[in-house]
Amino acid sequence: MSTMTKQRRATFAGIADVLIPAEEGMPAATQVDVHKDMLDHVLSLRPDLADDIWRGLDAAEGKPPQEAAANLNTTDAAALSAIGLAASAGYYMTPKVRELIGYPGQQSRPDSNPDAEPEYVTNGMLQKVIERGAVYRPTPQKL
């Protein structure tokens, strides 16, 4: 069966929390709901991940999450990789996690004055490079 089920979602949640636990001041994966709508969102954008994820989750069903993750890592790395990508992609898309790691997302921050002399010119850094001289070998100009 190639669709999400309650069981698969629960298995995913368990493994996601093994991979992304509540440690180092960061929340666990399920504390920011990566196993809920976010997982569906990730799969809607990356349907290519589904087969690997379903296979891994079905193999892990009923096992303790830590043991399931360790088993997959040795027996089906592609499945664990897909589960890990879905979990971490969802995790790092959540605003709370982004705030905690200081990531505003990719930003539109244009240079407000592109004609201004850059700092490396005004502070003399670049002048030192110029003073060190040419770093190319001249060649005969005509064949």
Partner 1 sequence: MNTKANKPPKVADVLIIGAGASGSIAAKHLSENGFSVVCLEQGGHVDTSEFWGNKPEWELMSQKRWHPNPNVRDLATDYPIDTSESDVNPLMYSAVGGSTILYAAHWQRFMPSDFRVKTMDGVADDWPFTYEDLEPFYDQMDIEMGVSALNGDPAYPAGKAAPLPPLPIGKIGMQAAEGMNKLGWHWWPAPNAIPSKPYRGRNQCVRWGTCLTGCPEGAKASFDHTHWPDSLKNGTFLITGARVKEVTLDAEGLANGAVYIDRNGRERHQKASIVIVCANGIGTPRLLLLSESGSHPNGLANSSGLVGKNLMMHPYAAVTGYFDEPLESWLGPSGQTIQSMEFYETDASRGFVRGAKWQVMPSGGPLGMRSAYGGKPLDEAWGANLHRNTKKVFGRAFEWGIIAEDLPDEANRVILDPTLCDSDGIPAPKLIYKNSDNTKKMIDFHLERAKEAMVAAGATDISATPLMRDCGWHLMGTARMGTDPERTVVNEYGRTHDVPNLFIYDGSVFVTSSGFNPTGTISAIALRAVKNLIENRSTQKVAA
The piece of 5-13, 54-62, 66-74 that touches partner 1 (CB under 8 A) is 66-74
Pattern 71-110, binding to partner 1, x per CB under 8 A?
--x---x---x--xx--xx--xx-------xxx-xxxxxx
Question: Rounded to the nearest whole angstrom, what is the least distance from the CB of residue 109 to partner 1 in the complex?
Answer: 5
Rounded Cα–Cα distance for residues 39 and 33 (Å): 8
The piece of 1-9, 17-25, 53-61 that touches partner 1 (CB under 8 A) is 17-25
3-state secondary structure of 125: helix
Q: Which is nearer to partner 1, 1 or 111 (CB)?
A: 111
Contact between 32 and 91 (Cβ < 8 Å): yes
Contact between 57 and 8 (Cβ < 8 Å): yes
Asked whether position 45 contacts partner 1 by CB under 8 A, the answer is yes
Tell me the number of residues near partner 1 by CB under 8 A.
Answer: 55
CA angle 7, 67, 52 (to 5 degrees): 55
Asked whether position 62 contacts partner 1 by CB under 8 A, the answer is no
Rounded Cα–Cα distance for residues 58 and 54 (Å): 6
